[in-house]
Amino acid sequence: MEFRLSERMNHLKASEIRELLKLTEEPDIISFAGGLPAPELFPIEEMKVISHKVLNDEGKAALQYGPTEGYTPLRKIIAEQRMKAVGVNATYENILITNGSQQGLDFTGRVFLDKDDIVICESPSYLGAINAFKAYMPKFVEIPMDDNGMIIEELEKALEKHPNAKFIYTIPDFQNPTGKTLSFERRVKMLELAEKYNIPIIEDNPYGELRFEGDMIPSIKSLDKKGLVIYLGTFSKTFCPGLRLGWICADKDILNKYIIVKQGADLQSSSISQREAAAFMQVYNLDEHINKIKEVYRRRRDLMIDMIKKEFPENIKYTYPNGGLFTWVTLPEGIDAAELLKIALRDKVAFVPGGSFFPNGGHPNHFRLNFSNMPEDKIIEGIKRLGKVLKENI
């Protein structure tokens, strides 16, 4: 059957890399490819208690439909605890519960984008966001980064050229894929530019609460007086991604647009997941849990960076993330990381080649390494294997 597909499907292609990365699921491969949290840190025993409690105390409501905006006690906890942790004063009326922040990204496309609209983003940017936006057929304008995140002079030039751009998409803290953080000065300037051009900022912040050292840099939303910032949050990296719970924090008018879109998409997020998350935070202390995660990830980051220093050839650069899940490796010009992955897989070690993080293509000489998901012995062995591949092929 030749289906008559929508035009958008021409823009959405399964990547070759995805096929290669399926191999990384084989048990003898040491994979630094995924963006997965450490499963041994999931609070399984606590969640057994919580799921029983939720079904026992409020089983009927937990298994029933609920409001599109989300379960009010959960929205309140998010406003009062999670948004406060990133410096934002919000009430539950500013919060819409989503199925992970990934749904917030898709909805952002639906709310803002028509074909050929301009999206401004970091270069490179989060692959899942690029794919979510691509369904709405925009054009991407990539802004180069340095160690302090998006280069603001470049952003300014892009805005002069594209004053009608629909939004600026940024991952300010411990960015996926580079691990870089946007400096405070640049956050202020980005907001000034957004105000000048009247362009919203989509602040996607799954990693902000996973800072290993140094002071928290206020979120862009916390500096926003005019309601230009639409903030995407998630419990995926600080709690459990399997619950599929994230949120959008924004001014009511624009949030209402997202609520309309959510009604059409799935009516609401899971009633039982929302109640479980809320009950967990009422009974246990999520901040303590986050501290445990940070401690483990910090050790893994330290170990990975130490091993890279020892095992990688000297002409290879890498970022030093102060939090989050990733470091970003830059190979000499002319080396294709996708080709290198094929060789690495033979030696049973995997990473994500960087090319797919650039929405307009190019830049094949990078790859992303995840340090959160592998135990320490595997980090040591995996980086040794990778070092050997690099030494032999570069």
- Beta carbons within 10 angstroms of residue 1's beta carbon: 2
Q: Could you tell me if 269 and 99 are in contact, meaning their C-beta atoms sit under 8 angstroms apart?
A: yes
| CA distances, 353 to each of 15, 30, 56 (Å) | 12, 15, 47
- State in angstroms the smallest separation of the CB of 168 from ligand PMP: 14
- Which lies closer to ligand PMP via its Cβ, residue 204 or residue 307? 204
Of 234-263, binders to ligand PMP (CB under 6 A) are: 234, 236, 241, 246
How does strand 366-370 pair with strand 326-330? antiparallel
- Which lies closer to ligand PMP via its Cβ, residue 101 or residue 269? 101
- State in angstroms the smallest separation of the CB of 44 from ligand PMP: 18
- Binds ligand PMP (CB under 6 A): choice among 68, 176, 268, 373: 176
Strand positions, DSSP E, 190-304: 201-204, 229-234, 246-249
- Residue 258 to residue 249: CA distance in whole angstroms: 11
- Which lies closer to ligand PMP via its Cβ, residue 100 or residue 179? 100
126 binds ligand PMP (CB under 6 A): yes
Strand partners, 328: 368
- Which lies closer to ligand PMP via its Cβ, residue 246 or residue 382? 246
- Residue 231 to residue 202: CA distance in whole angstroms: 6
179 binds ligand PMP (CB under 6 A): no
- State in angstroms the smallest separation of the CB of 157 from ligand PMP: 25
- Which lies closer to ligand PMP via its Cβ, residue 236 or residue 373? 236
- Binds ligand PMP (CB under 6 A): choice among 37, 70, 100, 109: 100
59-98 mask for ligand PMP (x: CB under 6 A)?
----------------------------------------
- Residue 196 to residue 191: CA distance in whole angstroms: 9
35 binds ligand PMP (CB under 6 A): yes
- Which lies closer to ligand PMP via its Cβ, residue 142 or residue 390? 142
- State in angstroms the smallest separation of the CB of 334 from ligand PMP: 29
What residues contact residue 203 under an 8 Å CB cut-off, 6+ apart?
170, 172, 219, 220, 221, 229, 230, 231, 232
Q: Could you tell me if 172 and 216 are in contact, meaning their C-beta atoms sit under 8 angstroms apart?
A: no
- Beta carbons within 10 angstroms of residue 10's beta carbon: 9
Tokens 């995840």, residue located: 370
- Binds ligand PMP (CB under 6 A): choice among 86, 141, 171, 255: 171
Residue 216, Cα to own-chain centre: how many angstroms? Answer: 18
- Which lies closer to ligand PMP via its Cβ, residue 71 or residue 133? 133
- Binds ligand PMP (CB under 6 A): choice among 69, 203, 204, 276: 204
- Which lies closer to ligand PMP via its Cβ, residue 234 or residue 365? 234
Whether omega before 124 lies within 30 degrees of 0, making that bond cis, reads yes
Q: Between vectors from CA 321 to CA 317 and to CA 324, what angle results, nearest 5°?
A: 135
| CA distances, 15 to each of 6, 29, 125, 127, 265 (Å) | 19, 21, 16, 11, 25
206 binds ligand PMP (CB under 6 A): yes
- State in angstroms the smallest separation of the CB of 188 from ligand PMP: 22
34 binds ligand PMP (CB under 6 A): no
Query: Length of the chain, please?
Result: 394
- Binds ligand PMP (CB under 6 A): choice among 31, 102, 268, 370: 102
Query: DSSP secondary-structure letter at 218?
Result: P
- State in angstroms the smallest separation of the CB of 324 from ligand PMP: 9
Question: Which parts of this chain interact with ligand PMP (CB under 6 A)?
Answer: 35, 100-102, 126, 128, 171, 176, 204, 206, 234, 236, 241, 246
